[in-house]
């Protein structure tokens, strides 16, 4: 089908409105008419080809909320008309050990929504039905998009690391991911510390659920405190201070895609059985749990809306860190 897209011809170039042809949905795929799409820092990493895996032209956008408008031959046509969300992953093989075991986000042949595929800054996008998540009743489609990348990224450690409600949790970096991590940690029942480079965000961090806010420079005062540190920052930190802030058996869960090596002292791991983990988004099952949890606890992304024709302005402002806390591009005026 013919679609309208916002695509980049080469690395670091602005997006241009262009017509394109979307492939017909495969047997297990469906087509979403995009209503809203969040802007994630990974879109910028892909636009700039920071990870060396971008094919141009690139149509970014992987925090999609859309309406099902057509389905492949193997998909129940009864889903047409549903509102669904789509994140970083748009397909996996469905038959390997990881897919069958419920961790399809670890499938070796998974397909990412904007890697070799056409993403959500478009009038329409295709994805496998299993990776499109029906929006539950009570979830506002206008600000739900960021849950499907930023949200699930910070929700997954609570499920996968079996975090206890009695845990002391710190979130480093109060941005698109961090402001959702604070809400999840608070609703989970944890004691929540926000750690920021910008104390001007302290009052907002408290409004998102932090019990206390500390500057990154004050981390050394928190030695031995945290059962879980969720690090959303993609720049090098004082890793020894981060590790020292962990309680015995505490975990550093790394989500910021820092490109420099993370330097660790072996004794930071040995002496108190501390560990470092990471995760790539999560499975469809965790996505389903997350959207239900969000509605129950009124967890939502704080977003700034712009029409899709102003997507380059949103990209430039995100490059400067000038957004609280996520841009959502609105598509509904596309003809």
Report the site for Zn ion in 99-128 (rule: CB under 5 A).
99, 107
Residues 328/303, Cβ–Cβ less than 8 Å? yes
Taking CB under 5 A as the rule, does residue 44 contact Zn ion?
no
Question: How far from the centroid of its chain's Cα atoms is residue 142's Cα?
Answer: 16
Q: At what angle do helices 150-160 and 284-297 cross, to 10 degrees?
A: 100
Length of the chain: 335
Instruction: Compute CA distances 328 → 64, 245, 311, 320, whole Å.
Output: 9, 35, 9, 17
How far is the C-alpha of 177 from the C-alpha of 87, rounded, in Å? 14
Question: Measured from the CB atom, is 44 or 272 closer to Zn ion?
Answer: 44
Task: Tell me how far apart the alpha carbons of residues 53 and 16 are, in angstroms, rounded to a whole number.
Answer: 21
Q: Does 142 bind Zn ion (CB under 5 A)?
A: no
Residue with tokens 């981060």: 242
Judged by CB under 5 A, the stretch of 86-94, 236-244, 290-298, 316-324 that binds Zn ion is 86-94
Examine residue 92 and tell whether it contacts Zn ion (CB under 5 A).
Answer: yes
The per-residue DSSP string of 135-204 comes to PPTT--HHHHGGGGTHHHHHHHHHHHTT--TT-EEEEE--STTHHHHHHHHHHHT-EEEEEES-GGGHHH
User: How big is the site for Zn ion, counted in residues (CB under 5 A)?
Assistant: 8
Count other Cβ atoms within 10 Å, centred on residue 52: 5
Q: How far is the CB of 88 from Zn ion (least distance, A)?
A: 5
Of the listed pieces 33-41, 189-197, 227-235, 244-252, which binds Zn ion according to CB under 5 A?
A: 33-41
Residue closest to 25 by CA, chosen among 69, 88, 79: 69
Q: How far is the CB of 225 from Zn ion (least distance, A)?
A: 29
Residues 203 and 321: their CA atoms lie apart, in Å, by 18
Structure tokens at 198: 């910008």
Q: Which of 13, 20, 93, 106 binds Zn ion (CB under 5 A)?
A: 93
Q: Which is nearer to Zn ion, 193 or 283 (CB)?
A: 283
Q: Which stretch binds Zn ion (CB under 5 A): 149-157, 224-232, 247-255, 286-294?
A: 149-157
Q: At closest approach, how far in Å is the CB of 36 from Zn ion?
A: 15
Q: Which of 149, 174, 181, 213 binds Zn ion (CB under 5 A)?
A: 149
The piece of 98-106, 225-233, 270-278, 299-307 that touches Zn ion (CB under 5 A) is 98-106
- Of 45 and 70, which has the nearer Cβ to Zn ion? 45
**Contacting Zn ion (CB under 5 A), which of 13, 44, 69, 96?**
96
Q: Work out which of 40, 167, 169, 315 binds Zn ion, going by CB under 5 A.
A: 40
Cβ(232)–Cβ(172) below 8 Å:
yes
CB of 264 to Zn ion, least distance (A): 26
Residue tagged 């297990």 (tokens): 28
Closest separation in Å from C-beta 287 to Zn ion: 13
Closer residue to Zn ion in complex, CB, 92/283: 92
State the nearest-atom distance from the C-beta of 39 to Zn ion, in Å.
Answer: 9
Considering beta carbons, is residue 96 or 206 the nearer one to Zn ion?
96
Task: Indicate the residue among 32 and 40 with the shorter CB distance to Zn ion.
Answer: 40
Cα 208 from Cα 106, distance rounded (Å): 30
CB of 325 to Zn ion, least distance (A): 13
Residue 305 beta carbon to Zn ion: minimum distance, rounded to whole angstroms: 18
* Closest-CA residue to 255 (of 121, 161, 116): 161
- List of residues contacting Zn ion (CB under 5 A): 40, 42, 92-93, 96, 99, 107, 149
């Amino acid at each position: 089908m013919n679609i309208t897209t916002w695509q980049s011809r080469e690395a670091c170039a602005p997006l241009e409105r262009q017509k394109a042809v979307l492939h017909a949905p495969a047997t297990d795929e469906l087509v979403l008419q995009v209503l809203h799409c969040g802007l994630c820092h990974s879109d910028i990493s892909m636009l700039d080809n920071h990870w060396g895996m971008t094919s141009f032209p690139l149509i970014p956008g992987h925090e999609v909320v859309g309406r099902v408008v057509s389905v492949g031959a193997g998909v129940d046509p009864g889903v047409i008309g549903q509102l669904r969300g789509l994140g970083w992953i748009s397909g996996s093989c469905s038959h390997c050990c990881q897919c069958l075991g419920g961790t399809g986000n670890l499938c070796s042949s998974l397909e990412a929504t904007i890697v070799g595929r056409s993403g959500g800054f478009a009038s329409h996008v295709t994805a496998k039905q299993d990776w499109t998540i029906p929006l539950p009743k009570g979830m506002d489609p206008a600000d739900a998009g960021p849950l499907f990348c930023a949200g699930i990224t910070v929700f997954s450690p609570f499920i996968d690391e079996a975090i206890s409600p009695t845990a002391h949790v710190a979130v480093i970096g109060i941005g698109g991911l961090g402001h959702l991590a604070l809400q999840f940690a608070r609703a989970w029942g944890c004691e929540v510390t926000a750690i920021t480079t910008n104390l001007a965000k302290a009052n907002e961090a408290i409004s998102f659920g932090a019990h206390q806010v500390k500057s990154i420079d004050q981390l050394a005062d928190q030695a031995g405190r945290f059962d879980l540190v969720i690090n959303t920052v993609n720049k090098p930190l004082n890793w020894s201070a981060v590790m020292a802030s962990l309680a015995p058996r505490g975990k550093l869960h790394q989500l910021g895609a820092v490109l420099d090596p993370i330097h660790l002292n072996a004794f930071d791991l040995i002496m108190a059985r501390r560990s470092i983990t990471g995760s790539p988004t999560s499975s469809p099952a965790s996505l389903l749990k997350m959207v239900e949890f969000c509605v129950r606890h009124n967890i939502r992304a704080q977003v700034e809306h712009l029409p899709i024709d102003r997507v380059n302005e949103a990209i430039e402002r995100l490059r400067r860190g000038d957004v609280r806390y996520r841009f959502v591009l609105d598509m509904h005026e596309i003809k």
